[in-house]
Structure formats: C-alpha cells, structure tokens
Amino acid sequence: MKAIRNIQYGAMVFFGLLLGTSCSGLLDEPLENQQIAEGTDYTQTQNMVLMLYGAYNQLYDFGWEIYPSISVRGDDIDIGGRGDQPLFALADSFRYDRNFWAMNSAWTGLYGDLIYWQGAIEEIQKYQEAGANGTTAQQYIAEIKVLQGFEMLQLARMWGRILIPQSSEPSALLDVELSSFEEVMQYVSARMDEAIPLLPDMRPNQRSDVRGGVTRYTALAVKAIANLELKNYPAVAEATGQIISSGLFSLEPDFYHLFKLRGKLNNENLLELQYSDYGTATGTSNKYLWDFFGPTSWTPTRDGASGGWGFWEPSMKYIQFMLDRGERERLETTVIFTPDGITDVRNAYPNAPSWISNATPDGDVFNNSVRTKFYSGKHYLPSAMLTEGRTAYGENKNFTCIRYAEVLLMHAEALTSGATSSVMTADAAVNAVRNRVGLGPLSGVTLDQVLDEKFAEFAGEWGIRFYDVVRHDQTAELSYGGRTYDATTSRFYPYPLEQQDVLPQLREGN
C-alpha cells in the first residue's frame, strides 16, 4: 500500500530491489545490499513494527499476472482475451512455453516476496537482539512465516520442485538445492507448526493492531492446504477441525455480496489482500489491477466507470455443470453473461432458465466482446459501489485468498478420504456450504460429491479446481474443448528460460 510504502524502512529498503529487477542483476549487487543494511539503528526498537507493515505491503503488491498463472488450468476457467497473449492461451491448453513473460514474472514476483520476507525476519531478529520485546518480535516473525508459506504453496503448485530461500541474499539461491513438491509441502506444514502458538487467537478482522492480519487460524488453513497436497488427510482433518471448533468463523449469508464490499474483512475470511481508496474521491488509492478481469465493453450504472481487458472467462463446462445442478446464486455470482454468451448457452442448453441475463443484479450491462463471452463475477465490483469520484474497475475491492467455506470443504474432503474427526461430520460441513445458497442437505456424502461442491463453490478461485482433480486422479475432466491433459507433461510448468539462464539447478530440474 502506498501509504505504508512511503515509510522509510532503513535496512529494509534494499529488498525492494527485487521488484521489477531481473535475478541476474541482483546477483551482481550483494555487497551494496549489505552496506545498506548496516546503516540501521536497531536500538530504535519502536521501528520494528515497520518490518511487519512492510511485509504486509509486499503481500498486497501481489502482481496481477501471478494469479492467472496459478489459476488458469482448471476446467472452471478459460483464458479469454482472444487475439491477445497467445502464450497465455497455450498455457490454458497445457502447452507451455518457457519464454512466456507472465510465467517468468510470476516466478520472480513470488521469489521477490519470499526473499523480502526472509530479510524482514532477519531485521526483526536484529531488533530483538537490540532489546525489542521478544514476544512481539516472535509474533511478527510468525506472521511473516505464514505469508511465506502461502506463497511457497503457490510456487510449488505451479513448478513442483522449487528452491526454498534460507537467506535474504538473492545470490544465496545459487547454493540451494531443489526441493521436491512433497518436501516443500512438508516444509510449509512444519513452518506453520512453528508459527501457530505465537499468533493471535482470533479472526483476522478482530485484530486491532493490523486489521485483517494473520492469526493462528490463517496458519492452520495454510497447514491444511499443504497437507491436502500431501494427501495427509488426518493432518488436514486435525487442522481444519481446530478452525471449526474455535467457533470464530461463519459463512457470509449472501454469497453474491461476499465478493463485493461486504466481503471486505468478512467473518468468513482467513486471508485477504487488502486495498482501499480511503473513501475519498481523489488522492491515494491502493488497488489491485482488476482490469485483467474487466469488460472490454459495458454499460455501467455509474457514468464514467472504467472497464478492463476481458482476459478471464468462466468456462461453458462450468456453466453447464451448474445448470445441471439447478443452481442460481453461485452461478449468477460467478459468471457474468454477454448476449453472445447467452446465445451459446441457450444453443447448448435449450432449457436454460429465463433469469440468465447480461445485466448484473446491480444493473451493470455487459455487452458483446471479441475477447470473451463470459466474465468473472467474483472479480467484479458493481459500478454503483465505487466511491464517488473513483472510476477504476473494481477499485476499493479486496481480494480474498482463503475463506471458511474452503476450510469446511477441506474438512469434508479429508473425512471422505479416510480421516476421522469428532468436530464435524462430512455431511455437516458440506451442508453448511449448501445451505448458504439454498440447496437441500445431502446424506452419506461421498468424495465425488465433495469435489462437486468445491467445483460449484470455488470456480475461478486460486486454481482450487485444477489442484483438486489432479490430487484425486480425475484429470480426464481437464481434457475438454480441444485441451488434452497429460499427467507426465501437464502437471507442472517448465521453469522460465530466463531463470534457467541464471540458476543452474533449474537446467536439469524439469
């Protein structure tokens, strides 16, 4: 966030060099970095908190190209953006190109964060050695470990074998061996175990020092995700069971508004990227670049509201899946239709319901586009909700990363995969999510029903669908619409060519 970025971080400034800079350039500057770090007066212990603010700022500066790289490969999403970024379209079809700039940018962006955060940990340790409160210092370090764990998950899910940074010196990566996908997940789980007892015992939105900041339940959720990838289902049930039994979290009653302003710092959220225009018509506005998801042509209810690039298209496969289930609330929230999209739906599904429209519940009208026939409703903020005087697409909207519905359905997935729990049954967990959107209860829930519920609930969110079907060997679902998934070549991205030129470990890694 710009307001935080303007704070003078002293020793932390050099870590910002990672952003927008090639790894090869950084490797030439370690001595300069060290000299800057030596200029900090660590006896000014009141400045230690700036390291934490900087760490959260780094998370909120999440590059727009990282999310689609994480999320595009499932059968819930098609890339959209027809006629532009052909290498992105190839990635959506499991035909990867090492030269694709967005993959390289995702790699450098995530590693920039990990190394920055490692530097923040080292700086906090120096403040503690100089007399800062030890309990506070260890909490700050634990919070940063959770941020590292969340992004390390994303790196390993994309590339499989990755490098785990142990130093804030970028050049130290040259001496790090590749860790396997399983080793990374074990490492993340262990780091969460280190962090959990040191973190606040509350919801993120209950924190008064850093509103929306990490708590022990965020760490438990990250631990659960890591163990889900390891198929360590008892550990998943145990971690999610702790979150559920806390009684602190609840599902937002209105699924549609969960992804609008009401979703900011919601009781359902365990981790979110926070943004704000501070309620003012002009001046500082810290925002995610939602333009990627926005319409190339629309008629907003708010005059002057900007559109976007039309790159993120919910799939027809998902739409038909939801229509077959008789769902409205989650479909209407997840998918925004254009007139051409409606025509395609009615041609493929003659009994499509009459409520399907190119006008959203808030009155914005989405017009035809050469780039896409459907838009993402989860990444849309109604123009009427923009602060007066603000015009950027989605401005003032937060980006949710982990929510309680995912915790419930991970719990159900673990139980239907062989784990046990005295906290909640799989039926109860699934039915809590279904009840929110007016669906009837299920009895004797199976794994396939859990995965279907996750498909319906999380379409377009953080690649959850792709990782689910891969984990449970249901990848036939990914071969559709001309795509062919090959388990030997499609699971992980190849390392970016630019990174292979810098890091010799990657040349034989995949």
pTM, full prediction: 0.92
Predicted confidence at residue 38, as pLDDT, reads 59
Closest of 115, 111, 145 to residue 33, by C-alpha: 115
Q: Output DSSP code: residue 84.
A: S
Pairing of strands 178-179, 162-163: antiparallel
How is residue 329 written in tokens?
A: 């609330």
Cβ(43)–Cβ(126) below 8 Å: no
Q: What is the pLDDT of residues 51-67, one digit of tens each?
A: 999 999 999 999 999 99
CA distance 13 to 36: 8
Strands annotated E in 33-184: 77-78, 162-163, 178-179
Beta pairing partners, 400: 272
The domain spans of the chain are 2-77+98-198, 290-397
Which stretches in the chain have pLDDT values below 50? 1-36
269 backbone dihedrals φ, ψ, rounded to 5°: -90, 130
CA distance 490 to 320: 25
SS3 353: coil
CA distance 69 to 77: 12
Predicted confidence at residue 353, as pLDDT, reads 97
Euclidean distance between the first and final Cα of the chain, in Å? 36
Q: What is the pLDDT of residues 330-349, one digit of tens each?
A: 999 999 999 999 999 999 99
Predicted confidence at residue 79, as pLDDT, reads 81
How is residue 130 written in tokens?
A: 């100089």
Q: How many residues make up the chain in this entry? A: 510
493 backbone dihedrals φ, ψ, rounded to 5°: -70, 150
Q: Kind and range of the H or E element at 376?
A: strand 374-376
Helices (H), 247-288: 255-258
CA distance 30 to 134: 29
How is residue 166 written in tokens?
A: 């142990």
Fold of 2-77+98-198: 1.25.40
Q: Kind and range of the H or E element at 273?
A: strand 269-273
Closest of 347, 346, 341, 348 to residue 295, by C-alpha: 341
SS3 388: coil
The residue whose two tokens read 């993340």 is 188
How is residue 46 written in tokens?
A: 């009141």
Predicted confidence at residue 211, as pLDDT, reads 96
Predicted confidence at residue 80, as pLDDT, reads 73
**Distances in whole angstroms, Cα of residue 86 to Cα of each of 82, 93, 483:** 8, 11, 15
C-beta neighbour count of 99 within 10 angstroms: 11
CA distance 305 to 403: 29
C-beta neighbour count of 198 within 10 angstroms: 17
Q: Output DSSP code: residue 506.
A: G
CA distance 295 to 380: 9
Torsion over CA of 114, 115, 120 and 123, rounded to 10 degrees?
A: 150
Q: Kind and range of the H or E element at 184?
A: helix 181-195
